[in-house]
């Protein structure tokens, strides 16, 4: 590992080392999987599609299906229009999806393929089936940008207001696991709120083993639901960076009111989510949800001595990092470093607002950063806990810092896509995992004669 010198940091502008992000098409592909009977399509080379599928498969531990335009040298010079047209014809004939969701790659963006024009020239789209697209150059933004762009395209292509309200609210979740989407739907059902949610990867990337291969599992939002979303009474976006563009477009395109919140991670953000639902619908908070909140508060009080005043460094996706940071502050912890690889200037504004809100001094928050920089800063200002995806484990090992895997991607553990981090139940799970790594470290550092006494 490259040796780092404490107290010596030089700003890098043209180099990223161990980036805290991946590329746009990964997020676009994941969003497309949240549509029922949808085939994500990568308009570029086979290698790009293979990498993006592999990245998602390693995180979700479920096979990710997608197709590619299979660019050759000729396509790279003369354009990939004929490749896309042939691909669409073959995909509908062989794989029989309801929707083909096309996203671009570096190559097709660099040569300037005009995807809307190519789609407009298609002559082989069966009736009742659709081809949608979004532009996702990998050299701009991150997987969160790609997710945002694809969800925005879902709104653009499908959602219409017919003038007849369906009495539902449209919920657009941010870049979260299928387990989180299930938990959001469970809360909505507990409160008796009629809703449409898209994208929805629950039932797709956490589908059960039945012994029979299903190209299109039963999960995902249907075309009809996305079309009807324009008739909703309002739209509620959860995760400002990931979904605000789609939520605002739906509000403008269909003339409905939009509400945008952060991800409901931790007690305060979940309170905001629940209270917003009561404000929108007028429905009371059911006893079951109040009970869950009470359980969370009880755990927070019981375990308080183990995490009080502990410092933390948190990295990952903007919405996730901000949600985890607020929860840590609520616990009495001190997040000292907040890092995201996603280019998002508002992340720094919101991060600094959090530090001011909780009276934290000398907190560091940065977008478009990488994990090499975080490691370098931790050399001279160590923390008690590191929180983020798998790619930070070398830092944790090198600096002997307890490591809580949370967010995306988690490549070296299992079960996490099924478990929520949102809502009160998700907060209980975060707290359990957080306490486990802190207490494991406490035991590991105890002398032999004190080991049995460590509690």
Domain extent for 47: 24-140
319 and 413 fall within a common domain: yes
Question: What pLDDT, on the 0 to 100 scale, is given for residue 343?
Answer: 96
SS3 string, the chain, reads: CCCCCCCCCCCCCCCCCCECCCCHHHHHHHHHCCECCEEEEEECCHHHHHHHHHHHHHHHCCCCCCEECCCCHHHHHHCCHHHHHHHHHHHHHHCCCCEEEEEECHHHHHHCCCHHHHHHCCCCCCCCCEEEEECCCCCCCCHHHHHHHHHHHHHHHHCCCCCCCCCCEEEEECCCCHHHHHHHHHHHHHCCCCEEECCCCCCCCCCCCCCCCCCCCCCCECHHHHHHHHHCCEEEEECHHHHHHHHHHHHHHHCCEEEEECCCCHHHHHHHHHHHHHHHHCCCCCHHHHHHHHHHHHHHHHCHHHHCCCEEEEECCHHHHHHHHHHHHHHCCEEEEEECCCCCHHHHHHHHHHHHHCCCCCCEEECCCEHHHHHHHHHHCCCCEEEECHHHHHHHHHHCCCEEECCCCCCCCCCHHHCCCCHHHHHHHHHHHHHHHHHHHHHHHCCHHHHHHCC
158 occurs within a structural domain: no
The domain boundary residue, chosen from 230, 254, 285:
285
In this predicted structure, the answer to whether residue 1 has a pLDDT above a threshold of 50 is: no
310 and 216 fall within a common domain: no
28 and 43 fall within a common domain: yes
Section 56-73 average pLDDT? 94
355 and 216 fall within a common domain: no
431 and 314 fall within a common domain: yes
94 and 116 fall within a common domain: yes
The domain boundary residue, chosen from 285, 318, 345:
285
14 occurs within a structural domain: no
Question: What pLDDT, on the 0 to 100 scale, is given for residue 11?
Answer: 78
The tally of domains found in the chain comes to: 3
Domain with residue 364: its CATH number is 3.40.50.1980
pTM above 0.85, yes or no: yes
152 occurs within a structural domain: no
In this predicted structure, the answer to whether residue 448 has a pLDDT above a threshold of 90 is: no
Question: What pLDDT, on the 0 to 100 scale, is given for residue 12?
Answer: 80
358 occurs within a structural domain: yes
Section 17-46 average pLDDT? 97
197 occurs within a structural domain: yes
The mean-pLDDT minimum among 51-65, 139-153, 260-274, 439-453 falls in 439-453
146 occurs within a structural domain: no
453 occurs within a structural domain: no
In this predicted structure, the answer to whether residue 2 has a pLDDT above a threshold of 50 is: no
227 and 357 fall within a common domain: no
302 occurs within a structural domain: yes
125 and 183 fall within a common domain: no
304 and 408 fall within a common domain: yes
333 and 279 fall within a common domain: no
Q: Give 242-272 pLDDT, tens digit per residue.
A: 999 999 999 999 999 999 999 999 999 999 9
87 and 126 fall within a common domain: yes
Q: Give 200-228 pLDDT, tens digit per residue.
A: 999 999 999 999 999 999 999 999 999 99
281 and 295 fall within a common domain: no
Question: What pLDDT, on the 0 to 100 scale, is given for residue 7?
Answer: 54
Q: Give 285-344 pLDDT, tens digit per residue.
A: 999 999 999 999 999 999 999 999 999 999 999 999 999 999 999 999 999 999 999 999
The domain boundary residue, chosen from 250, 265, 285:
285
């Amino acid at each position: 590992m490259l040796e780092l010198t404490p107290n010596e940091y030089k700003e890098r502008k043209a180099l990223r080392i161990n980036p805290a992000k991946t590329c746009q098409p990964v997020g676009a592909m994941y969003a497309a999987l949240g549509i029922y009977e949808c085939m994500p399509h990568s308009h570029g080379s086979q290698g790009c599609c293979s990498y993006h599928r592999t990245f998602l498969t390693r995180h979700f531990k479920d096979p990710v299906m997608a197709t590619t335009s299979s660019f050759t040298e000729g396509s790279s010079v003369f354009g990939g229009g004929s490749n896309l047209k042939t691909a669409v014809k073959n995909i509908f004939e062989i794989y029989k999806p309801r929707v083909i969701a096309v996203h671009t790659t570096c190559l097709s963006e660099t040569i300037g393929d005009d995807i809307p024009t190519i789609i407009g020239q298609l002559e082989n789209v069966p009736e009742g089936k659709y081809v949608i697209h979004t532009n996702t150059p990998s050299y701009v933004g991150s997987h969160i940008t790609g997710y945002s762009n694809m969800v925005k395209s879902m709104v653009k292509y499908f959602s219409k207001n017919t003038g007849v309200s369906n009495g539902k609210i449209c919920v657009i979740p941010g870049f979260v696991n299928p387990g989180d989407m299930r938990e959001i739907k469970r809360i909505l059902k507990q409160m008796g709120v009629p809703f449409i949610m898209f994208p929805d990867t629950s039932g797709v990337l956490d589908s059960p083993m039945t012994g029979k291969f299903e190209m299109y599992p039963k999960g995902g939002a249907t075309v009809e639901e996305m079309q009807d979303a324009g008739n909703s009474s309002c739209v509620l976006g959860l995760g400002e960076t990931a979904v605000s563009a789609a939520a605002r477009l739906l509000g403008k395109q269909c003339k409905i009111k939009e509400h945008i919140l952060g991800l409901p991670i931790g007690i305060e953000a979940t309170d905001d989510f629940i209270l917003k639902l009561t404000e929108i619908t007028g429905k009371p908070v059911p006893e079951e949800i109040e009970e869950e909140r009470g359980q969370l508060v009880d755990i927070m009080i019981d375990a308080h001595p183990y995490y009080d005043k502990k410092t933390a460094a948190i990295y990952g996706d903007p919405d996730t990092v901000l949600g985890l940071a607020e929860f840590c502050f609520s616990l009495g912890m001190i997040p000292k470093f907040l890092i995201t690889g996603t280019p998002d200037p508002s992340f720094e504004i919101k991060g600094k607002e959090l530090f001011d809100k909780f009276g934290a001094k000398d907190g560091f928050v940065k977008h478009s950063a990488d994990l090499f920089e975080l490691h370098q800063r931790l050399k001279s200002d160590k923390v008690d806990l590191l929180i983020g995806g798998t790619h930070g484990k070398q830092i944790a090992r090198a600096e002997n810092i307890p490591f809580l895997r949370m967010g995306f991607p988690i490549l070296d553990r299992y079960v996490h896509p099924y478990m929520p981090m949102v809502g009160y139940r998700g907060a209980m799970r975060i707290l359990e995992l957080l306490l486990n790594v802190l207490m494991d470290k406490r035991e590991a550092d105890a002398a032999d004669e004190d080991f049995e006494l460590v509690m």
